[in-house]
Structure 1
Amino acid sequence: MGVIDFIFPKKCLECGKEGKYICEDCIMKVGPGGPNSIWRYQGVVRKAIIALKYKFATEIADELVSYINLPPSHNCLVPIPSHWYRQNIRGFNQAELLGEKLAVKMGWKFLPNLLVKTHPTPPQVGLKGTPRRQNLRGVFAVSPNILVSQYPSIILFDDVLTTGSTLKEASKVLKEAGVKKLWCLTIAR
């Protein structure tokens, strides 16, 4: 335990128990998120993602990923990119941060530069269905420096699945570029 942890001990974001931001009791209360998501966007998972994205608590990513167990495979993980402007303001891309930690844990190849966001978009928060889709139309592109065909199996990764618009638009671009096997995965839904 470091000096900072001694003076300001970590507490579970949900129940307040000291030791970690995400305690085992609280993570076990969060239900599964369905076929493409690890958890439901509720309880300690929701609070952890909000703290990660908006309070810049990047060490929470380690704790979230520590609770994930997926079968090993020969997949490559591609995070949903942020536009460079938004990433510079926040200081990081949460999908890239979580995705890299997950890829390392699972032994997957990590490809953060395969997909790029070509121009900034207004935040998706608060938008529903059609406005979300319109907001993202034509915003993703495959990096011209990477040959997609050398990666036969790709997991497209994001932090939260709401309407699926982001993953759908990014998937379309990857398939048009020649990706044969593509799965989508999110932390929460």
Structure 2
Amino acid sequence: MRMLGVIFIVAFCVIQFPAAADEVLIGCESSRNSDILACLEKKRVLADKALNYEYKSAMARLNGENQIDLRNVQRKWIHFRDKFCLSVRKENGMGAEAGLEYSRCLYRITLDRKLEVQQLASVLSDEKFYSSIIALGRIGIERAQLIEKLAALDNDVIEWREYVAAHCDFMSALSGENAKACNARLNFNRSYQ
């Protein structure tokens, strides 16, 4: 029965919130890798500008101590992003596909971080996560059990763990969000491996 619950959670999340790799390529259809790469780079630059806007807006709303904390969290995220996407590139060799996967990685991670920064004002604004928890509760999956499983998702990338710890400490101080719930929320919202 327990395994059935886990299978249902995964199926629900995949159906409810698909994160197909091809969705990153929408608008970048071409038969030439160089065209796709140029398109992905444009999308990444726009995502980076949107993230910078959200980051500056958040900094303007925060007091001095929280600004320092957010800056430190952002640095941890940048370190994670760079290290993780470089590993994705290396996994794909040095051909054209490696460049595409690297750009796709940068784009996805930047979009995820933009959403995280947008949600700094209210952790409860993460409607996707909390709506899913409520819906799964209706079929008998306990909130605590679900959060425990999501928080325990193994990620062997040390930079991810360092970023999550810093982000969740910051969110706890800023909004009182429980560290385990924060960790679960970040794992749930990740659009990459």
- Tell me the TM-score normalised to structure 2 length: 0.28
Q: Name the structure, 1 or 2, with higher relative contact order (CA <8 Å, separation 6+).
A: 2
